[in-house]
A = this chain, B = another copy of it.
């Protein structure tokens, strides 16, 4: 195991070097990391299967996603868009008096501490989204490995850091620590300049508080918890209730429900009639071991709390048993509760991580948002199922006000790694309500801007030079205009 001080010193040493690597070379290193993961696919997937019980098909596709993510990020880095270069040409006639030559771009924040998640041993772990985006931003990364897949974490770190170094990245660009004590020591370490986290609201809040309490506070990007409400209208049930039941069963059962985007509270009109369809769809579900003993305990407790409530009906009870190692083995469970009853039971409005969902039955569509307002804080996603041509704009507006992603007619599970993705939302979905941990926009979380005023061209960083040797996009605000927008301020 690495000593915390050694790891932090090594990352701090690597930071200016990795920051100075030109985009093309940094992109090459990210591709090398992707290629190395591919070259070690069978070994890594095998380790993940042993440690997580997530199953080979899911793990294979998750590793593919992780590899493609690194390649996509390498393209973004090579194109230079994430540098956000912006140039004000000098303007002696500027409306507020002579304007200097001013050139701004984004630079990396410095060493990033990334707390890995249990539920995505590839995509939100050592080589996952937070690591890929911090590396793409030009930051060295120290991963606090998740105890749910320790051997996989060590091997992934070895494979990726070797690939990075062999492709020219400085030593210290990627490192790993294992213990909680090491994670806490590092988030307090002045050499760490930002932190990211995917996990529970409790642990996330504790870490966010540590980050805020430092002598020099740092940005803490925590993706904590989400209930992912789903609103289904009566028309949607009438038109395609069977399809909704099938989709819901898949979304709750997939990965044994251990997804931050699992739909947890599905609002349905009374008399929706989905229960027989759900029972049928779920009756063939295999028993599944949950990821960790901690996830197991949380699931068993949450399911019991729900089923023991007199207002709750265990319409699909599922099965659950603890093995001798305190892992839960379980099949999907569904409970129903009346919306008005749920609104009076804040203790039930909590994430049950695993294959469990509430069907929340409402009387009138008009009451839906009033009840939802009382129940929910921020979420990663809100989903709406409506009929053809049904106007559900109020539901969509509520969804946008309370989440980072609004899904229509589908399910929140499955998060594409693309430019338009937003994985993050108002507290407690994300610590500050801003930023995304999936998609290429995730890179900017690990950058800050620096402007250069009247610096001679030869001494400017390459992206800011007139000759633009790295061929990055440069946005100019020409002289003689009020700003970048080509409009007259008196218009």
Give A contacts to B, CB under 8 Å: 16, 61, 64-65, 68, 71-72, 75-76, 78-79, 81, 86-88, 94-97, 99-100, 102-104, 107, 109, 193, 208-209, 212-213, 216-219, 377-378, 391-393, 396-397, 400-401, 403-410, 416-422, 424-428, 431-434, 436, 440-441, 447-456, 459, 461, 475, 477, 482-485, 487, 489-491
Contact = CB atoms under 8 A, between A and B. Distances in A.
Contact of A477 (B407, B420, B449): B420
Given A78-B487, A88-B419, 10 more contacts: A16-B397, A75-B483, A103-B420, A109-B434, A193-B433, A209-B212, A404-B449, A406-B450, A408-B455, A440-B483
Given A95-B68, A407-B453, A455-B406, A79 B416 contact: no
Given A88-B420, A212-B208, A428-B216, A434 B448 contact: yes
Nearest to A484: B419
Contacts of A408: 452-456, 459
A458 to B, nearest CB: 8
Contact of A405 (B72, B97, B451, B477): B451
A459 B418 contact: no
Nearest to A86: B420
A107 B419 CA distance: 17
A449 B425 CA distance: 8
18 contacts: A61-B97, A64-B96, A68-B96, A68-B482, A102-B418, A103-B420, A209-B213, A212-B217, A217-B431, A392-B459, A400-B452, A404-B450, A405-B450, A409-B454, A419-B477, A421-B451, A433-B448, A441-B449
A75 B485 contact: yes
A473 to B, nearest CB: 11
Contacts of A424: 448-449
